[in-house]
Amino acid sequence: MGFFYFDESIHPEGSFSLGAFAYAEESLEDSIADALRQSGLSPRVDEFKSGAWMDRNPQQARTRELLRSVVRDHCRIGVVVAPDRPRQLLGSEALLGLKKILSTNEFRSGLHDIFFDRGIFDSSAASQRAAEVLRTIQPCSLHFEQDSVQVLGLQAADLIAHTCATMLLAELGFIRKKVKAGANSGYDPNLDMELEFELWAGLR
């Protein structure tokens, strides 16, 4: 069975919402639980939030690096972008994006568990009606309004969504920041590089 996890990053300043799917052939729960423990966090009690100030919270920064490794080692990524208003647009675009992903890619398994974070759809009834479009593509178990503290794979989707949204904001000119390449980057550690490139390199 394959596993999809979906979360979003909303940016009114750029007039967009970006949603990200993290796909893995096996559940991400154990891998992410291990990453949280290595950072000193308690799975299903504490949570990684990519919007936190990392320079003020080294525990969250450590978790981010470990979750990047989980994404690199286990995940394929899908991204959808929608206007930030009305909010319910992102849910419908997520399902259209998922339909495209399922119909144009090959997966080891034909069965999928699909988890959506809270607030992606404006109501449970709306999500169930919209989901009917998927049922003719591949067998799927759809789980709406999920808690990312309990469904740990959503924390990987949160990281992907925030990272890709920050890259898009930078490309649109809303963020202009350079960072040091750092150790193990493949570049001179003291080289200044654009933030969006460093983020892309961290997930590639």
Give per-residue pLDDT as tens, 30-84. 999 999 999 999 999 999 888 777 667 788 889 988 999 999 999 999 999 999 9
Q: How far apart are CA 113 and CA 136, in angstroms?
A: 15
The gap between the terminal CA atoms of the chain, to the nearest Å, is 24
HEC profile of 86-131: CCHHHHHHHHHHHHHHHHHCCCCCCCEEEEEECCCCCCHHHHHHHH
What is the pLDDT, as a whole number, of residue 167?
Answer: 85
CATH topology of domain 2-173: Nucleotidyltransferase; domain 5 (3.30.420)
What is the pLDDT, as a whole number, of residue 101?
Answer: 93
In terms of pLDDT, which residue wins out, 154 or 201?
154
* pLDDT at residue 94 tops 60: yes
What is the pLDDT, as a whole number, of residue 50?
Answer: 82
Secondary structure tally for the chain: helices H, strands E: 6, 7
Domain boundaries, the chain: 2-173
CB 7 within 8 A of CB 158: yes
What is the pLDDT, as a whole number, of residue 197?
Answer: 56
**How far from chain centre, in Å, is Cα 91?**
14
* pLDDT at residue 182 tops 60: no
* pLDDT digits 0-9 by tens, 111-161: 899 999 999 987 666 667 666 766 666 678 888 899 999 999 999 999 999
Give this prediction's pTM. Answer: 0.86
In terms of pLDDT, which residue wins out, 191 or 113?
113
What is the pLDDT, as a whole number, of residue 42?
Answer: 94
Determine whether 154 is exposed, middle or buried from the number of CB atoms within 10 Å of its CB (0-12, 13-18, 19+). Answer: buried
